[in-house]
Amino acid sequence: MHIYDVCVIGSGAAGGVMAKELCEGGAEVIMLEAGEEVPPARFLSHKWPYELPYRGLRDEKQAPFYPKDISAIRYQDTDSGIGVDRVRVLGGRTLHWNAVTLRYAPRDFRERTLAGIEEDWPLSYQELAPWYEHIEQTIGVCGQDDHLEILPAGKHYLPPLPWRCSEHVLARVGKSMGIPVIPVRKAVLTLPYDQRPPCHYCGHCMDGCDVSSIFTTPDCVLPKARATGRFTLRQNAVAREILTDSSGRAQAVSFIDRITRSEEQVRARVFAVCCATIESARLLLNSKSPQHPDGLGNSNGVVGHYLHGHIGGGVSVYLDELASTKPVNQDGATDHVYVPRYNQLSGKRDYAGGWGIQVNFESYMFPDQAQHLRGYGAPFKAEVRRLQPGYLFLGTFCKAVSARENYVAVDPHQTDAYGIPIPVIHYRFGENDRALWRDHNASLQQLASRLKGTVFSSLDNGPGGFASHEVGTVRMGKDPQTSALNGFCQAHEVKNLFVTDGSSFTTSSEKNPTLTIMALSARAADYIKQQRRLNAL
Amino acid sequence: MKRRQALKIVTLGALAEAASQSVAAHGLASGYAWTPGDHHLAFFSEDENRMIDELMEMIIPADDHSPGAHAAQVSLFADLMVSTSDVAEQQRWRRGLEAMQEEVSRSSTAQALAKAAANESHPETELERFFVVLKRMTVDGYYTSEIGIHQDLNYQGNAYLSEFPGCEHEAHH
C-alpha cells in the first residue's frame, strides 16, 4: 500500500492551510473529506426567495453544505440554546462563514496568570504573531491597525469596507459611551488579490460566494496545494478511526467511501486531524486499540472534555433617525464594523472575560421587525415599512469558560448511517458565564437605549451557544496530565499525530477563532516540516 | 424616459436573463421554483383557503403603497408549507382552522380576527394561538414574495456592485 508523507483529515480552515503549507514544503499529502465539493455553480446565493421551493425558509440555500447522513448527533444534558455546527462539505466552515478574522491578544493566552481561571496556553502571542501575519497575507484581509491592546493588528491590510449610515450612528453613540467601533477585519477582498476579484457587495457571504471574494479553502489554498503535484484529495471519505502500529504510533486511517460504501485504508507517516471540535474528538475517541484503550492519545481522559465556544445573543435597533428614509442598497459584505471588547476599559468586574459585537451580519432583505411588531392591518404593514431603513443589528460574542465537566462523548450503542458511533454533547453554563452574561446584557440594553429607536432583543431568552465557534475538546497545554497536545498541536502520546483545528484551543476569548486556527495550523505545519527533516516523527 | 428608469429596466432585464441562465446551468427543472399560479391545494379545502386568504389580506392588506397578502397569494404559499410540514404542525393548523371557522360562523371574519388577535403576546385559547401561527405565516409568505420584497419594501439589494457606496451624510457621523 502506498504510504503518503502526511494524511490531512478535514478540508476546512485548519486542513486547507495544513495541506497547502506541507505540499509547498515538499511533502506528499492526501486529504480526506467526509463531505463533497459544492462548486460555485451550484450555489443558490443570488436566488430570490420566491425562486426557491420554500422561499429559503427551510435553509435551501445552505442545505448542500449540511448532508444529513453524516451529521447525526445527540444532545444530552445540555442547557437550552446550545447547538454545534454540523457543516460537512469540501472547505468546511469556510464555505459558510462571515470571514471575520481577529487576532487573539497577548492576554488571551494567559487566563490562568492574569485572571486566575482556566489554564495558560503553551504558547504566547509573540510566538504565534508571525503566523498570524503569514495567514493574513495568504488569505487577504481588509481592515486597518486601530492601535488597540485588546486587538493586535497585522502589517498588511486591504482597504476597510465603507460604513453604512447605521454604522456611523453606532460609532457616534459608542464614542459618547466609551465604546470603540472600528472597521471590521475580515477575509473579504476590497481590491483584487491573489488572482481573485473584489467583493460585489451582495450580502450573501454565508450562502457561498460565487466569485471567490471571500476566503474559502477550495478557492484559495487547495489550488495551491494541487499546483505542487503532490496533493491528493479523497472527498466523500468518512473517517472511522485512526489505526496504530504495535508501538502505538498512528499508521493508517480507516474510512468509508460514501458513494461505494466500501471500507478503505490510507497509510501515512504523519496524521493531521482537522475535522473541527466535535468531529476531531469523535475520531480520536473512536480510535481505540490495545495501546490506546480509551481512544487515541487519551490515556489521561482529556479528549472530548473542555468543550466550549462563544455564547451570545442579538439586538435589533431600528434607528429613529434612519426610519422612514428612502430605501437604499445596504447589503454590502455583511458586517462592515466591529465593536472590540470594551469592558476591560473601565471598572472592576466580578468575572473574567468580555464580549465583542459583530454588527449587521444578517440580511437586509427580510424585515425581522415584522416577526416582533404586534397587531395587524394597515398600521402594522406601514410600520414594518417605516422601520426597515433604520435596521441596525448587534450580535454579541461572549467568552465562555472551558470546564472539564462540559464534553463530547461517543455512544457505541448509537451509530450513524455508516456504523460509526455518533457524538453526544454535554454542556452547562458555569457561574462565570452567567455573571458575564448579566453584565453584557445590561451593557447592551444601555447601548440600545442610547441609540434611540425601536428595539427588539433576544437577550431575555438567556444565553445561546456556540455561534459555530465551538473549541477546546483536544486541548493544548503545558501539562501532559491535563492536556492532549503540546504547543505545536502535537499529541503528547503519539508523536506523529497533530490536531490543529479549534479543538486544540486551551481557552477561548471573545474573538472569532478562525484566524487563530489557521495560524496554529500553519505553525504546526512548519514544525512538521522541521521534524521531518530531523527524522523525528 | 428618465435615465434612472431606463437603467432600472436594463438591470431587471439582465437579472432575469441571468436567473434563467442560472436555472439552466443548475439543470433545474422548470417546476423547481414555486409559483402560485399552478399550485393545487394540498392541505386546505377550497373553503378553508378562501377564509385564510381573507384573513391574511386583513393582516397585510393592500394599501395605496402596494398590494397585500391576497395579491401575493400567501394562502397558497401557506398551503404548500403546511402540507409539507410534520404531523404535529398540521394538527396545530387543523385545530386552529376549526376554532377560527367556528368563530367566523358565530360573528364575522373581521370580528373573529380581532378576537383572535386580542392577546397576541400571551395567547391562551386555541383561537389566540392560531392568530400567532397565522400571522407568522402571513409575514413569512408576504415578505418573501415579489410583491413584498420589491413593491412594498422597495428592497434595492441582491445586486452586483462595483463599489459599495458608504454613508455620506454628515449628520450621521
- Tens-digit pLDDT profile for residues A213-272: 999 999 999 999 999 999 999 999 999 999 999 999 999 999 999 999 999 999 999 999
Q: What percent of chain B has pLDDT over 70?
A: 78
Query: Residue A305: left (phi > 0), alpha (psi -120 to 50), or beta?
Result: beta
Q: Of how many residues is chain A composed? A: 537
Query: Do B40 and B25 share a structural domain?
Result: no
pLDDT, average across residues A297-314: 96
- CATH architecture of the domain with range A3-40+64-533: 3-Layer(bba) Sandwich (3.50)
Confidence of residue B28 (pLDDT cuts 50, 70, 90): very low
Determine whether A445 is exposed, middle or buried from the number of CB atoms within 10 Å of its CB (0-12, 13-18, 19+): middle
Domain assignment of residue B110, yes or no: yes
pLDDT at B9 exceeding the cut of 90: no
Q: Which one has a higher pLDDT value, B26 or A77?
A: A77
Measured CA distances, B128 to A488, B97, B122 (Å):
59, 11, 9
Map grid coordinates 468509508 to a residue. Answer: A256
Q: What is the pLDDT of residue B35?
A: 57
Instruction: Give B5's pLDDT tier (boundaries 50, 70, 90).
Output: very low
A487 has pLDDT over 60: yes
Give the H or E element holding residue B146.
helix B146-146
Cβ distance B66 to A378 under 8 Å? Answer: no
Across the range A410-428, mean pLDDT stands at 97
Q: What region, left, alpha or beta, does residue A419 occupy, with left being phi > 0 and alpha being psi -120 to 50 degrees?
A: left
Q: What is the DSSP letter of A504?
A: G
Bridge partners of A268, per DSSP, are: A4
Q: Number of residue pairs across A and B with CB atoms under 8 Å?
A: 144
- On chain A, the residues whose CB falls within 8 A of the CB of B172 are 165, 168-169, 172, 321-322
Residue A16 has what pLDDT? 98
Helix A431-451 to helix A165-177 angle (10° resolution) is 110
Shortest CA distance from A52: residue in chain B:
B33
Where does the pLDDT of residue B8 fall: very low under 50, low under 70, confident under 90, or very high at 90 and above?
very low
| Residue B169 maps to a domain | no
Nearest CA in chain A to B157: A329
Q: Which of A53, A329, A367 sits opposite B34 (nearest CB)?
A: A53
Decide: helix, strand or coil at residue A455. strand
Length of chain B: 173
Q: Are residues B98 and B118 in the same domain?
A: yes
**Is residue B68 domain-resident?**
yes
Whether the predicted pLDDT of A126 surpasses 60? yes
- Whether the predicted pLDDT of B30 surpasses 60: no
Q: How far A31 CA lies from chain B's nearest CA (Å)?
A: 28
Q: Measured between CA atoms, how close is B84 to chain A, in angstroms?
A: 10
What rounded mean pLDDT belongs to chain A? 97
Residues B22 and B71 in one domain: no
Cα–Cα distance, A52 to B130 (Å, whole number) = 26
Residue in chain B closest to A41 (alpha carbons) equals B26
Question: What pLDDT digit, counting tens, does each position of A326-383 carry?
Answer: 999 999 999 999 999 999 998 889 999 999 999 999 879 999 999 999 999 999 999 9
Per-residue burial over B15-48, b if 16 or more Cβ lie within 10 Å, else e, is eeeeeeebbeeeeeeeeeebebeeeeeebbeeeb
For residues A315-330, give the mean pLDDT: 97
B133 and B111 fall within a common domain: yes
Sole residue written with cell 450562502: A207
Cell of A124: 504566547
CB A492 within 8 A of CB A485: yes
Cα A51 to Cα B28: distance, rounded to the nearest angstrom: 11
Q: Looking at the structure, do residues B58 and B130 belong to the same domain, yes or no?
A: yes
Of A54, A199, A376, the CB nearest to B59: A376
DSSP states of A408-449: EEEEEEEE-TTSPEEEEEEE---HHHHHHHHHHHHHHHHHHH
Rounded Cα–Cα distance for residues B74 and A388 (Å)? 21
Least confident window among A96-105, A356-365, A381-390, A487-496 = A356-365
> Distance (Å) from the C-alpha of residue A207 to the closest C-alpha of chain B?
12
pLDDT of B17 > 50? The answer is no
Cross-chain Cβ contact A162/B121 below 8 Å: no
Task: For residues A20-41, give the mean pLDDT.
Answer: 97
Q: Are residues B104 and B79 in the same domain?
A: yes
DSSP-assigned letter for residue A109? G
Name the minimum distance, in Å, from the CA of A162 to any CA of chain B.
5
- Can you give the pLDDT at residue B37? 62
Mutant choice from B109, B167, B173 vs A, greatest count of A C-beta within 10 A: B167
Residue A437: pLDDT band (50, 70, 90) is: very high
Beta strands per DSSP E along A138-188: 182-183
Average the pLDDT over A522-533 and give the result. 97
Residue A85, SS3 per DSSP: coil
Cell reading at B26? 443548475
Q: Which of A52, A201, A366 sits opposite B143 (nearest CB)?
A: A366
* pLDDT band of A65, cuts 50, 70, 90: very high
Same domain, B16 and B77: no
Q: Answer whether residue B116 is part of any domain.
A: yes
Judge contact between B80 and B34, C-beta under 8 A: yes
Amino acid at A22: L
Q: Is the pLDDT of residue A187 over 80?
A: yes
Domain count, chain B: 2
* A140 and A196 Cβ atoms separated by less than 8 Å: yes
Q: Where are the beta strands (DSSP E) in A10-131?
A: 29-32, 74-78
Indicate the pLDDT class of residue A461, thresholds 50, 70 and 90.
confident
Residues B77 and B15 in one domain: no
Task: Please give the mean pLDDT across all residues of chain B.
Answer: 84
Query: For residue A238, what are the β-bridge partners?
Result: A256
Residues in chain B within 8 Å Cβ distance of A46: 18, 22, 158
Measured between CA atoms, the residue of chain A closest to residue B161 is A200
pLDDT of res. B4: 33
Q: Are residues B130 and B75 in the same domain?
A: yes
Domain residue limits at B23: 1-30
* Residues of B in Cβ contact (< 8 Å) with A330: 156-157
**pLDDT at site B10:** 31
Confidence of residue B36 (pLDDT cuts 50, 70, 90): low
Average pLDDT estimate for A532-536:
94
Q: Does ipTM surpass 0.85 in this model?
A: yes
Residues B22 and B68 in one domain: no
pLDDT tens digit string along A195-221? 999 999 999 999 999 999 999 999 999
Mean pLDDT computed over A145-149: 98
Q: What is the pLDDT of residues B38-68, one digit of tens each?
A: 789 999 999 999 999 999 999 999 999 999 9
Cβ–Cβ gap A202/B135 under 8 Å: no
Q: Cell match 434607528: residue? A: A319
Placement of cell 408549507 in the chain: B81
Between CA A213 and CA A196 the distance in angstroms is 6
Residue B93 lies in a domain: yes
Confidence band (pLDDT; 50, 70, 90) for A505? Answer: very high
Kindly state whether residues B38 and B26 are assigned to the same domain: no
Q: Is the pLDDT reported for residue A444 higher than 50?
A: yes
Is A55 in contact with B173 (Cβ distance < 8 A)?
A: no
Q: Which of B152, B160, B166 sits opposite A164 (nearest CB)?
A: B166
Residue B162 falls inside a structural domain: no
Residues in B touching A329 (Cβ below 8 Å): 156-157, 159, 161, 165
Q: Which residue has the higher pLDDT, B115 or B170?
A: B115
Q: How many CB atoms are located within 10 Å of the residue A211 CB?
A: 16
Region label for B54, one of left (φ > 0), alpha (ψ between -120 and 50) or beta (otherwise): alpha
What whole-number distance in Å separates Cα of residue A194 and Cα of residue A396? 32
B159 to chain A: which residues are within 8 Å by CB?
200-202, 329, 331
Please give the single-letter amino acid code of residue A67: P
- B40 and B124 share a domain? yes
CB contact under 8 A, B65 and A385: yes
